Chain A
């Protein structure tokens, strides 16, 4: 049994969910740090942001990390689907009346739905920027791919779809927020990290992280749209 059991068991799937999820949290920090440079106006901001984009796509260690991130995203999704399928099978006949609100948070009961929203967002988001950056036609500025201009143009009021895009981004970040508020502390619980003294701190951190990070992410498109009005 031993290691084989570790891979097959339901708990192993939870460990993987937790580990990949928590790793993706660190990715979010890195991503956010870069995005915050979009608040810098003028060419100063343009250069900083483009340099950052260049660094993220070429520096070997970051590249390695990015592959890890892709793997984690995929694993997190596939594992999530497997878990959901199993969970559905565990209750083939549902209740006529079920009052989940009495005993658990909405987010905790809807992680699959939230995850799906985030996944859909991810596809469109990557198509818009990541795909263009890697494989598309990019304008150049100072010898660097000018992602800054692409981003600004996407959220510019001159783009007829910008308003929908902004709304979509804000909505997706709300989903991410709910996903993180439950997921962050849930990851620690799955890995067995729970202590009467430290768990409240983990939960608080998870809450701040889950609200703060998506909030900052969400402000950016709004900011870009409004400042270009």
Chain B
């Protein structure tokens, strides 16, 4: 294969000045001309809402689309833990450089220096902006903002609002968006799904959207289109994503020429509630902040593990010496606070070795017993209790933990029907986030002129593994502080273009293609449900392109997915009609795209002959079983171009240069 290099348009100059000087040099659109320019925003989560609001404030005409019934329901709302920012309010040595450094290292040296540095730079403005909007972050008694620490770093830089930080930030962006809707600067189309992007003269000039209530196809033209449509973790069927989260917008863009970058880079989150049975429709995350105080372990003896699985012994009956706190054992420096990819893989390793603690053998303990004791002792001393009994200490400790993590403990109890105050929680890794996504240059433009991607939909900032509390940061950075500036550079060439017509042959053709695809699905009259195919795709992906991968499995996965895809188009059954509210049809459209994406993910995973971050190739590991990178050959971004069939995708490379950071083998020992 002839690999072409691509230009990421990183500005010249020293790293710390790149963004400032770029901002002052890029072309601007004057206020009067902004009124003549239309921008389409697909997706209204953190990245989409914040960008739509900011662009409208600047004067552009924005049309925003979401498939939910309100922009307030985008899945950003489910983010629990927090948002990072290099404020250094805690005076623990944090700085823009350290946040940059942690993010590059956490991403296992597979992200772009210039983008990550910009992210760290604007992180502080995000907190200022959100507070000004009335986002109720957690505060200390002095009235100032509180911080906590998150996995993979050694400073406290995470701002939070209990376990509902994503909700509060999204509602902030949603309120900013609502303000612009009321001013008429944003036209909001809810219950609409993007079906395709439309290219006119080599530029992206609009989309075909489907009104999910009436089933009508609509043409929407604009000078530029921004995809803020989130990640594609649902390709695994079971994930912590919302049921509706999908890849379709990105995938349609990919098929129209936008490169997919590092599609196999998936984050498996270590602390989720384990699968309980075949009926399971989604997995629930337990915030990573639980690892700050909980200890993760499995029995050290196989007999004990066996006993726990068949219910003959309880966790509390296993002696301290017979417990294997494997993270503390393997990574003494970071212990339970290692990055997500490391923690997930370690859990899988123990369970694969036969030490799992639930019926399926796929669960480990997250134990708060020692936290109850530790907090209880402190609390007893605060209250001046003299020689409190062990039981009193535990009661006090539970009260402290309840205040800190009460909502998470309640949620666990609700789902698992087990009281985490009495018995240790059972957790297991689950698909959570996709670092890969549409390839974008420094300006967040995809390889298609006029088509942008922000937030989780793009690939840019997290390399091969995202650190906790960085997704919210990136979504808002892109939406509030990056895209609104960089898009002007492109749009400044469009001030004399005039209105884009949705009546051109290009729109007509795009609409016709969409219609044919829908008709094909509706008239298929097969025997199997959409979920049936989705579940089977998920199983292939999880088993062969999940937490650990090898060449043989990936090759067979590619074949299995191709067969499954054929079967889907031959045998899927979509009930109902086209011209009505039909969630099954919406789902079928999404799954048909997942069935293509899955193959590309496996191709990408097969191509990357190294282990890095969330991508663990069994063939490439250190003798201790840690991920082994091959920087000489693989310090690049794989950007895949669609050529008609996922199997024939053409690889482009963007070489990653690390000029401001020393590339090391990642160690958390």
A and B directly contacting (CB within 8 A): no
Point out residues on B near A: beta carbons under 8 Å.
none
Chain A interface (Cβ < 8 Å from any Cβ of B): none
